[in-house]
Amino acid sequence: MAMTRRGLFYGFLTLYMLEVLKRSFTEAISATTLPMLANSLTQTFVWGPLSDKFKVRRLLIVIGETIAGIAYIFLSPTVWSLYTGLTPTQAKTLYAITIIVGLTLLESFWSMSNVGWSAPIADMTKSTERGTIMGN
């Protein structure tokens, strides 16, 4: 489900950045690449080690999903309210930067729920079973 969400959401986000906000290709791709990079790095170097050390899988899921839900709310409508007095071009530039930075931060924290969901699979299965399941 996570991969489908990312494929659809970030695919359409790239088109939105290019066609509606009239941003450069580099900016549009940054809105996809930087959040996924942050997600991967924080899973590996922050949330994974914390999950292994403290065994707080469910807490990571709840906190990660809650932060993501709240962040999405603040990322769109509130952002536009900051633009009063800006020209349309300035507003689009600021919104594009806000999308890139906001989604990067959002994915950094959302990745804790990915670790929380994945860790129980590793905890409950033997490595041979896990390899077979993942292979299928």
DSSP, residue by residue, 33-54: HHHHHHHHHHIIIIIHHHHHHH
Tokens 């009239």 correspond to 22
Q: Which domain holds residue 74?
A: 2-135
User: What's the whole-number mean pLDDT along residues 118-136?
Assistant: 74
Q: What is the pLDDT of residues 61-83, one digit of tens each?
A: 999 999 998 988 888 755 666 66
Number of domains in the chain: 1
Answer yes or no: is pLDDT of 110 > 70: yes
114 contacts 39 by C-beta, under 8 angstroms: yes
- For 15-66, what is each residue's pLDDT tens digit? 999 999 899 999 999 999 999 999 999 999 999 999 989 988 889 999 999 9
For the whole model, what pTM was predicted? 0.83
pLDDT digits (tens, 9 = 90+) for 91-106: 888 889 989 999 999 9
> Comparing 124 with 116, which gets the higher pLDDT?
116
Virtual CA dihedral for 21, 32, 48, 54, nearest 10 degrees?
10
pLDDT of residue 32: 92
